[in-house]
Structure 1
Amino acid sequence: MKNILLIGGSYGIGLEIAKQMSETSHVIIASRTEQNIPSNIKHITFDVSKDDISKLELPDTLDGFVYCPGSMNLKPFKMLSTEAFQKDMDINFMALVKTVHGILPQLKKAEQASLVFFSTVAVKVGMPFHTSVAAAKGAIEGFAKALAAEYAPSFRVNVIAPSLTDTPLAGKLLNNDEKKDKMGDRHPLKRVGTETDIANAAIFLLSEKSSWMTGQVVGVDGGISTLNSN
């Protein structure tokens, strides 16, 4: 049985990934809270912004890794301080780098581990009020491609770039049906994403079905990054 580690994952997309993967794999969630986590999934209390991943009791081999922490700090550039940019960069990117450093030995022991990171459609498509999060997620995309090149074929690295998805992180933007309909209409497929939409893509990238994919940024975005249907 494969060992899959999720950083974050106690709610939203990460929890949906964990639930699906737990049917066929040994899943570990390292996060600050463990509410909502089913009993068949191991939980380790871990704060990615403060704690050292190498100090955790993890399996000797990790076959899959998913980094879930992120931010959605959508404000006009003139209202974003440099400290806000740094905070977004720290949680989205620097903590990811630190974590991957810490689990390299376990990843390299796998036959071919799969790493899955998250970006945003706003890296590919310039969007107002996304300067900070797009900068941080853009760093993830560049890092993932370089990492994939450096460690192929030892392990694979791919990125999912969603558009707006109905998760707790997007709660303020989607807290009523009118907002959901308005945001959904911006997409060619006329709805916002669901946790399952994004989780399904992650499950695919973690599986052998994607074994000839690495260094890719996969848009799961209702078509908004490539189609003009208005």
Structure 2
Amino acid sequence: MSGKVLIYGGSGAVGSASARLLKEMGYDLHLVGSGEEKLRKIAEELGAGMSVADLRDPASFKRITEEAGKELAGLVYAVGTINLKSLRRLEEADFMEDFRLNALGAVMAVQAAAAALKKHQSASVVLYSSVAVQQGMAMHASLSMCKGAVEGLVRSLAAELAPQIRVNAIAPSLLQDSDLSSAIIKSPEAVEALGKTHALKRLGKAQDIASLTAFLISDQADWMTGQIIGVDGGRSVIQV
């Protein structure tokens, strides 16, 4: 396997774990993140290119793609938010921030990279949804709304960009080692209690998501597109 994969959120738990697996598989990498020090450390470890960017700035996406190169084998958009508030506490700014980073950022990343992806023989895009889209959860109105938009985007782009580019998404449940989960998980007891709400009796790990991400980018998944795949310990389909 060869080619370059552009990974947004490359310094985060899922993005960096995916980058390491893809490097082992023979891909070149270009990593994107907002914190230069952490991003540079991972990029140097993997011999990857890097772009520091604030994805709230629409101009960032064109610049990032230009820095990544003229041909891309894949794109991973591992950027997300967890903004858990009751409906009465959510303000317009909360909804807009979540939508901007989760949904609008995803489509702008793909839009900016589409020409470079089409130059590769079999390119692949991986986006991320959430178990909360399929399973109604209190306090998840903003997250569910923006991740539901990602699922619609995946199916639309899969149809529009076929056959040159495959587009799929992964819908995780809560991960115990992600950067975002620290706002929710405060103790080992919380990890255990939340794990018990899943049929497999544990929370997920970044590596669980990275393994499927690498598979979907690779040619091993070259007959898969338009799919939303749950990696959630059974949470979305099994009642505990």
> TM-score, normalization: structure 1?
0.96
Equivalent in the alignment of 2:51: 44
Equivalent in the alignment of 2:5: 4
Could you tell me how far apart the structure 2 residues matched to 1:146 and 1:14 are?
Answer: 24
Equivalent in the alignment of 1:193: 204
Match of 1:62 among 54, 67, 72: 72
The more displaced of 46-55 and 62-71 is 46-55
Equivalent in the alignment of 2:18: 17
Higher helix share: 2
Equivalent in the alignment of 1:165: 175
Q: Runs in 1 of length 4+ with deviation above 4 angstroms?
A: none
Give the alignment's Cα RMSD to 1 decimal.
Answer: 1.2
**Structure 2 contact 168–216 (Cα < 8 Å) conserved:** yes
**Structure 1 contact 116–160 (Cα < 8 Å) conserved:** yes
**Structure 2 contact 31–43 (Cα < 8 Å) conserved:** no
Tell me the SS of whatever aligns to 2:237: coil
Q: Note the alpha carbon deviations across 1:82-112, whole angstroms, 9 max, x for none.
A: 2211111111111222221111110111112
Match of 2:61 among 45, 50, 53: 53
Give runs of aligned pairs for residues 68-217 of structure 1, distance below 5 A.
68-166=78-176, 167-217=178-228
Structure 2 residue identity aligned to 1:82: E
Structure 1 residue identity aligned to 2:187: N
> How many percent identity over aligned positions?
36
**Structure 1 contact 22–41 (Cα < 8 Å) conserved:** no
**Structure 2 contact 122–219 (Cα < 8 Å) conserved:** no
What are the ranges of 5 or more consecutive residues in structure 2 without an aligned counterpart?
none
What are the ranges of 5 or more consecutive residues in structure 1 without an aligned counterpart?
none
> TM-score, normalization: structure 2?
0.92
**Structure 2 contact 199–233 (Cα < 8 Å) conserved:** yes
Q: Note the alpha carbon deviations across 1:147-187, whole angstroms, 9 max, x for none.
A: 00111111100000000112111112223110000000000
Number of residue pairs matched by the alignment? 229
**Structure 1 contact 198–220 (Cα < 8 Å) conserved:** yes
The more displaced of 203-212 and 181-190 is 203-212
Tell me the SS of whatever aligns to 1:132: helix
The more displaced of 71-80 and 47-56 is 47-56
Tell me the SS of whatever aligns to 1:88: helix
Could you tell me how far apart the structure 2 residues matched to 1:194 and 1:58 are?
Answer: 28
**Structure 1 contact 18–41 (Cα < 8 Å) conserved:** no
Could you tell me how far apart the structure 1 residues matched to 2:183 and 2:146 are?
Answer: 21
Give the deviation of 1:191 after TM superposition.
0.3
Could you tell me how far apart the structure 2 residues matched to 1:80 and 1:187 are?
Answer: 27
